[in-house]
Structure 1
Amino acid sequence: MLKNSQEVGVKYMRLWEELEEARREGLEEGHDSGLTEGKEIERLESIKKLMESMGWTAEQAMDALQIPAEEREKYRN
């Protein structure tokens, strides 16, 4: 009976470690995604503010913010 109890305990700990690792990975992915999304929102707001306050086109605002050419289409949309 003691042997079975120890086997169950070991199985439980392994499962707990696997679930903890999966939870950590999920949090990291969510955090990274949130940072990227926040950065894009902030850039878009900066573009809008430059357009409004300076009377610039979207291209001029993106030039001033040094946004790479390959990223500009998503901000235009």
Structure 2
Amino acid sequence: MNCYECVQSGRASEAVAVCRMCGAAVCTEHVRTETAQVRVAAHPGKVIHDQPARRLTCPVCRAAEESP
């Protein structure tokens, strides 16, 4: 599978991840990685695991999340 962002700019590069928001395949250049604490709906705001989870997104979804 090729990176969606690269294909849009006329290049082809192998995808290494899938955006958790939109499902687009992304390469190492375009994947955005962050960590997030796992929380339980029954206890709002309560962290249930010490180790943070990994969260992968594409540049478009990351920009949308960070926009005011």
Q: TM-score range by the shorter chain?
A: under 0.3
The TM-score normalised by the length of structure 2 is: 0.21
Task: Judging by fraction of residues, say which structure has more helix.
Answer: 1
Task: Judging by fraction of residues, say which structure has more strand.
Answer: 2
| Greater RCO, CA 8 A, separation 6+ | 2
